[in-house]
Each structure stands twice: as structure tokens, then as C-alpha cells.
């Protein structure tokens, strides 16, 4: 479906695409949602997640396991979803969900994780270095932040630090102030980076 917009300067009509709707309902209010790792996996049974999601999840787990403060090392159970997108400044970011459990423990409980990655373009031509750098990895065991299309609170300019506007509501996020990218409320839809 298209909308007509008037180009005031030239007095002409311009056709633009209507923004995509990220939810079945017009307004889904911001809330914390509790979703277990198993429930998230069940929504994606028999879906091929693709190389990008698997790669992002592996980088996130490696990063998590290399941090000294994370004494319990984890391993991936299931890679779920990912999204790669560009910010207005040109930086490329990725968001990924995966499930993981404590390494070498068959009785360990699975947890749902969110990770954010950022492309470092200076590293693109180097075969010995990974150009995607992990910004953060969060265990979403306590609940995740649900996306909402209606903004009924104060933003900082066009930046909405409560949630991600780049991803669909299928990708579960930590609280909006815990990740860097996807906060521009005017960029719906964000353009995919890959």
C-alpha cells in the first residue's frame, strides 16, 4: 500500500511506501514480558536461522566466556533470530537472540540471551581479525523488553531509549538503556545491512 506525499517545494506528488506495522495490534504498550528459553525456541521450531544469526551468537558466547567476571561459562543450545541494520551515522549493528546453558552441565537450565554487535569497518580487509565486535550480552532470564509502537513518554530528540525500533517484536531485547543501537524512532523501517 502506498501513500501520497506532497513535495511542497516543487508542488508535485511523491509516492512513498507506508511504514511496516510491527505488531498485529496498532498499539502494544511497553511492558516486561517473561518468556522462557523453551517458549522462545518453540516459536521457531524447524526454522532455518541462517549463517548470520549463528555467527553472531557464536561471537556473543565467545565474548561472554572470555570475560573474567563471568565465572560460569556457557554454550549455545539454539540460535534463534538476528537482525543487522544501519544507523543514520552509517554504523552497522546486529542484534541476536539465542538460548544457552552452563557449559559441561547436562542438568543446567537453558536461558534466553540477547546480544548486540557492531561492525568495525577498519577490520574488514583483515582475514586474521573478526570485524563484528560484541557490544553487550545479556541473560534475559528475568524477562525481556517488549516492543511498542506508541510512544507516550518523553524521548530525547528522536531517540527512544526504551526500546529498539530496528528489530521486529520477535527479537527479544534487554531494557532499552542496556544496548546502543536501534533507538531512532523516526527510522521505521530501518534498512537492513545484509
In a domain, 132, yes or no: yes
Residue 72 has pLDDT above 90, yes or no: yes
In a domain, 186, yes or no: no
Measured distance between the N- and C-terminal CA atoms of the chain, rounded to whole angstroms: 25
**What's the pLDDT tens digit per position in 35-45?**
778 888 888 88
Mean pLDDT is lowest, of 13-27, 118-132, 169-183, for 13-27
In a domain, 1, yes or no: no
In a domain, 188, yes or no: no
Residue 64 has pLDDT above 90, yes or no: yes
In a domain, 183, yes or no: no
In a domain, 145, yes or no: yes
Residue 54 has pLDDT above 50, yes or no: yes
Residue 48 structural domain: 24-178
Of residues 145 and 71, more confidence is placed in 71
Helices (H), the chain: 37-42, 50-66
Of residues 149 and 173, more confidence is placed in 173
In a domain, 150, yes or no: yes
Helices (runs of H) and strands (runs of E) counted in the chain:
2, 8
Classify the phi-psi angles of 84: left when phi > 0, otherwise alpha if psi is within -120 to 50, otherwise beta: beta
For position 157, what pLDDT does the model report? 65
For position 192, what pLDDT does the model report? 55
- Domain CATH code at residue 146: 3.10.450
What value does the mean pLDDT of the chain take? 74
In a domain, 14, yes or no: no
Structural domain count of the chain: 1
For position 67, what pLDDT does the model report? 94
Amino acid at each position: 500500500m502506498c501513500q501520497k506525499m506532497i513535495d511542497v517545494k516543487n508542488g508535485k506528488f511523491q509516492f512513498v511506501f507506508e511504514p511496516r506495522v510491527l505488531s498485529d495490534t496498532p498499539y502494544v504498550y511497553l511492558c516486561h514480558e517473561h518468556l522462557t528459553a523453551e517458549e522462545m525456541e518453540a516459536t521457531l521450531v524447524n526454522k532455518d536461522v541462517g549463517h548470520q544469526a549463528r555467527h553472531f551468537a557464536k561471537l556473543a558466547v565467545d565474548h561472554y566466556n572470555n570475560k573474567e567476571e563471568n565465572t560460569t561459562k556457557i554454550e549455545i543450545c539454539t540460535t534463534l533470530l538476528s537482525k543487522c541494520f544501519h544507523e543514520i551515522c552509517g554504523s552497522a549493528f546486529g542484534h541476536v537472540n539465542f538460548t544457552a546453558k552452563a557449559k559441561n552441565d547436562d542438568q543446567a537450565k537453558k536461558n534466553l540471551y540477547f546480544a548486540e554487535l557492531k561492525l568495525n569497518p577498519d577490520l574488514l580487509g583483515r582475514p586474521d581479525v573478526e570485524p563484528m565486535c560484541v557490544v553487550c550480552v545479556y541473560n534475559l532470564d528475568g524477562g525481556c523488553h517488549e516492543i511498542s509502537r506508541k510512544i507516550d513518554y518523553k524521548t530525547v530528540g528522536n531517540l527512544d531509549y526504551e526500546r529498539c525500533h530496528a528489530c521486529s517484536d520477535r527479537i527479544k531485547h534487554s531494557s532499552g538503556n542496556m544496548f546502543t543501537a536501534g533507538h531512532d524512532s523516526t527510522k521505521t523501517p530501518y534498512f537492513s545491512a545484509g
